[in-house]
Amino acid sequence: MLCIAHRGGPGPENSLEAIRRSLAMGAPAIEIDVWQLHGELWVTHDRRLGREIAGHQVLSDLSRDHLEALRLSNGEHLPRLSQVLELVGERALLNIELKGPDCVDALVRTLTARRRDFGHSPDAWIVSSFDHQQLAQLQQSLPEVRRGLLLYGVPLDLAQSADRIDAYSVNLSLDFMPEALRRDAQQRGKKVWVYTANHPEDWRRLTEAGVDGVFTDHPDALMRYLADH
């Protein structure tokens, strides 16, 4: 079962510090969230300031100068995807979740430049989103980069929609993962990854269910659990 460090891992979420910690502990996979703003991809989760970053505005209303002036709780600038790609390299699988609209063009430019300039394999990345239209657009623009279909709920067609974008994984909520949905996804040849599980009793349940990967805020604890079991 793959351990995926949720929102970068321990530390201020989606920060370079958190990602460094996850890499140092040997996390095999790291997940981050990105928004397209002013033609670039910025690494953060919420559409509005106030929870992790001081302020109250909606991200899309901010100027570039304002975005560059934002600080995380550890004093870091708001990271860009290019910085995360440089930091992670090919040391871990990077799951890039598209959070807002119109991300694909900027993502294709960024990943294509990374491959051209540093020779990184597309196997180093997987792109996920609840916006399945953007995943379909990515499939057309950069088909070699794997796609993860994010779901929150149980679709009428179970995992059938994953076939339309040739998804590598179906990423299910811990709250909505009935056996029929998990089985349908795996019978279609998809990995089943579950978000976000932070407790040993959930890890045990997911292991017994045959889940392929787990997003967690505690990758160090999950890796110890997997080693012990």
Q: Look at residues 161, 118, 121 and name the one whose alpha carbon lies nearest to residue 144.
A: 121
Residue 73 lies in a domain: no
pTM exceeds 0.95 for this model: yes
Asked if the structure places residue 76 within a domain, the reply is no
Evaluate whether 164 touches 155 at the Cβ level (below 8 Å): no
Domain count, the chain: 1
CATH number where 130 lies? 3.20.20.190
Q: How many residues does the chain have?
A: 229
* Average pLDDT, integer, range 178-188: 97
- Position 86 in a domain: no
Cis peptide before 196 (omega within 30 of 0): yes
Q: Is 137 within the bounds of a domain?
A: yes
The 10s digit of each residue's pLDDT in 86-108 is 999 999 999 999 999 999 999 99
pLDDT at residue 196, as a whole number: 98
Residue-range definition of the domain harbouring residue 160: 2-33+91-228
Structure confidence at residue 58 as a pLDDT band (50, 70, 90): very high
pLDDT in tens, 105-164: 999 999 999 999 999 999 999 999 999 999 999 999 999 999 999 999 999 999 999 999
Assigned domain for 38 exists: no
Residue 44 forms part of a structural domain: no
| Residue 184 located in a structural domain | yes
Closest of 191, 155, 199, 139 to residue 174, by C-alpha: 199
